[in-house]
Amino acid sequence: MSQKTWGGRFSGGTDSRVEAFTESISFDRRLYRHDIIGSQAHAKMLAEVGLLTAGEAEQIVTALDEIGTQIEAGEMEFTISLEDIHTHIEKALIAKLGDTGRKLHTGRSRNDQVVTDLKLWTRDAIDELDSLLLDLQRAFVESAERESGVVIPGYTHLQRAQPVLAAHYFLAYTEKFQRDRDRLRDCRARLNVLPLGAAALAGTSLPIDRESVRAKLGFDSVARNSLDVSSDRDFALEFVFTLSLIATHLSGWAEEWVIWSTTEFNFLDLPDAFCTGSSIMPHKKNPDVLELTRGKSGRVIGALQQLFVLVKGLPLAYNRDLQEDKTAIFDAFDTVAGCVAVAVPLVRQTKLRREVIASRLDAGFLDATTLMESLISRGVPMRSAHEVVGNLVRECEQRKCRLADLPDAMFPAPEVKASLGVANALRAFKSYGSTAPAEVERQLREWKLRLA
């Protein structure tokens, strides 16, 4: 008899090149635990509806546990002639139980099975990533606390703009990663619909109970349309999109810190343990972790592209192309999880070079906008105030001095000079969400409570 689960219809064997070309066991073996959980729920349901006896289901559940332990211990021999993880596990079950094992696949197809496994896997991956992102947020909040009171230049166009509190800066990243966590939660909610029971594409004439399987596997509802099920990879796209956005956030942050760690900026003291040296230049301390974080975003965004191209031309229902979804999802997840795992200690251990930053705060007219606003507060129309301060800045550039160094007489109202200097400018902020010290303090307190 053929090794293949589908061998009945075939007279000859499969060309070995085809086996090597069509296999997925080399990468889908990482679904084994989810495949087993799905099969156990399926077997129990089959017994509930009388398609298996209670004893048979029990035997199957126990044997599947044993197979899981074997795989975990590295004792399962994987072979491309058994295509994928589903076939390996089913064959191992049949080897243990004979005819009882041959009943497991009743009312089920690999088409609904594989998407069930992948959803179960993605659900776990989301939970794992969520807790990593929580750690990262905590690291940023810790930095906000540690550096609270420190003022740094805020940039637009990478040109000095206005002063901001370092805590405000760190909390900005906390916000971005919160949105990423919210997106993961949304993605999880939408994917949590049970595919199993759609069978090959049309459902089954057997009296399966999908609601029972749903409850056993912790899905929120049952997929309504069997034809939709096996072609649906929306959840994979949403997940990898979310991963791409996380990678993009990490990449922007990494780029910023690469710049901040240059001799030219010198804002950061990166921990030695997170930098590497040069094989030829003895003095070098390179921010390779940050650079790779920036670089790896390309892989993740590439995986999203791969998935879009994969599904864009597929007719209903299952097509073998879909097997190619897994490499993209796995790689995107591994890459992002790896980036976050190393970002957490890097953020925790990196300190701002406070003296260097403070010694240069007078440069770049960080107080100019506040000066303009203090004129506005005294009734000067905004556009006029803008022009007045612009002229003063031009004057400073000629005299090579700060706004505060200009003679009182040059200001339309000499009292406005009280808003000059970075410390005064910072204190002047008031609006909700601004870098106003009281506002940042309040938000820091809220984040600490929220992430506790």
Q: Which is nearer to ligand ARG, 24 or 443 (CB)?
A: 24
| Positions 312 through 351 that interact with ligand ARG (CB under 6 A) | 318, 320, 322-323
What are the distances in angstroms from CA 176 to CA 180, 197, 245?
Answer: 6, 38, 10
Distance CA 248, CA 242 (A): 10
In this structure, what token pair is assigned to residue 129? Answer: 């990533």
Establish if 114 lies at the interface with ligand ARG (CB under 6 A).
yes
The nearest distance, CB 84 to ligand ARG, in angstroms, is 4
Per-residue binding letters, 282-301, with ligand ARG (x by CB under 6 A): --------------------
Stretch that binds ligand ARG, among 108-116, 216-224, 299-307, 420-428 (CB under 6 A): 108-116
Contacts with ligand ARG by CB under 6 A: the residue count is 10
Under the criterion CB under 6 A, does residue 141 sit at the interface with ligand ARG? no
User: Rg of the Cα trace of the chain?
Assistant: 30
> Tell me, what amino acid is at 116?
T
Q: Does 196 bind ligand ARG (CB under 6 A)?
A: no
Q: Give whichever of 121 and 411 is closer to ligand ARG, judged by the CB atom.
A: 121
Instruction: Write out the two tokens for 57.
Output: 């289901």
The gap from C-alpha 242 to its chain's centroid, in whole angstroms, comes to 6
Closest distance to ligand ARG from the beta carbon of 38 (Å): 13
- Cβ neighbors of 239 (< 8 A, separation 6 or more) are 122, 125, 126, 184, 187, 191, 329, 332, 333
Alpha helix locations (H) across 73-165?
85-97, 110-146
Residue 413: strand, helix, or coil: coil
> 157, 205, 279, 283: which one is catalytic?
157
431 noted as active-site residue: no
DSSP state of 276: B
Name the minimum Å distance from CB 113 to ligand ARG: 7
Our CB check for ligand ARG shows the closer of 113 and 374 to be 113
Determine the longest span between alpha carbons in the chain, in angstroms: 101
Check if 42 is active-site: no
* CA separation for the pair 115, 451 (Å, rounded): 33
Taking the least distance from each CB to ligand ARG, the nearer of 310 and 422 is 310
Identified binder of ligand ARG from the candidate list 34, 110, 138, 176, rule CB under 6 A: 110
Write down the least CB distance from residue 87 to ligand ARG, Å. 8
Q: Is 177 one of the binding residues for ligand ARG (CB under 6 A)? A: no
When asked if residue 306 is in the footprint of ligand ARG (CB under 6 A), the reply is no
Q: Give CA–CA dist 191/238, Å, rounded.
A: 9
CA proximity to 367, closest of 411, 335, 325, 398: 411
Catalytic residue among 16, 131, 278, 384: 278
Nearest to 59 by CA among 104, 107, 106, 89: 104
| Closer by beta carbon to ligand ARG, 80 or else 134 | 80
Whether the CB-CB separation of 385 and 411 falls below 8 Å is answered with: no
Q: How far apart are the first and last CA of the chain?
A: 60
Distance between CA atoms of residues 73 and 88, nearest Å? 15
Please give the single-letter amino acid code of residue 409.
Answer: A
Which of 107-115, 243-251, 308-316, 373-381 is the region at the interface with ligand ARG (rule: CB under 6 A)? 107-115
Minimum CB separation of residue 358 from ligand ARG in Å reads: 58
111 binds ligand ARG (CB under 6 A): yes
Among 35, 56, 84, 90, binds ligand ARG (CB under 6 A): 84
Verify binding: residue 24, ligand ARG, rule CB under 6 A.
Answer: yes
The site for ligand ARG (CB under 6 A) is made up of 24, 28, 84, 110-111, 114, 318, 320, 322-323
Active site (catalytic) residues: 157, 278
